[in-house]
Amino acid sequence: MKIGSMKVLSVALSLALLGSVAIAQGPPMGGPPHEGGFFGEHSLDFFADMLNLTDAQQVQIKQIMAAAKPTLEPLFQQEMQNKKAMMQLAMSGNFDEAKAQTLAQQASQAHIQLEVEHARTISQAYQILTAEQKTKLSQFMAKREQRMQEHMQEHMQQ
């Protein structure tokens, strides 16, 4: 498999996976939860429709996501706590560069572990797709990547 295809799939399945973790965390910023769950469920629904996933494939992906949740959830929590602590430090009026470095290193380690677990989970989910579904997903993600690049170029020109 090409690295680009895996990267593209990683983005797609990460959205679904992050959504499942977000669902477990509760409503965003104390607000009401979205109808039908957070964006992860919607992403899974979108990809299920787009790729014409079978019921069995959807169940398998949900099982993979559920199995990853106990590992991902604390990493996600740690990442959010580090971001909150960094923001509090930045807005405290008493910026401490050493403290900021420590928080950034902690956040970096949590993010690295989170990304590795995402990659592992995505790889497991990718394995249940048929060759046709993998091709369709790669085409979709290539188009999405192209649109993102065009958007970035437009933004840079402004």
**9 has pLDDT over 70:** no
Residues 16/44, Cβ–Cβ less than 8 Å: yes
Give the per-residue pLDDT at 40: 54
Dihedral sign, CA of 45, 47, 51, 57?
negative
pLDDT range class, residue 133, cuts 50, 70, 90: very high
pLDDT range class, residue 158, cuts 50, 70, 90: confident
Give the per-residue pLDDT at 85: 95
From its phi and psi, is residue 99 left (phi > 0), alpha (psi between -120 and 50) or beta? alpha
Q: pTM of the prediction?
A: 0.65
DSSP assignment string, 85-124: HHHHHHTSS---HHHHHHHHHHHHHHHHHHHHHHHHHHHH
**DSSP 8-state secondary structure symbol assigned to residue 64:** H
Dihedral sign, CA of 114, 74, 31, 92?
negative
CB hemisphere CA count around 112 (13 angstroms): 6
Q: Give 85-124 pLDDT, tens digit per residue.
A: 999 999 999 999 999 999 999 999 999 999 999 999 989 9
Give the per-residue pLDDT at 34: 34
Q: Give 10-59 pLDDT, tens digit per residue.
A: 544 544 444 443 433 333 333 333 333 333 567 788 889 999 999 999 99
- 17 — phi, psi (to 5°)? -70, -45
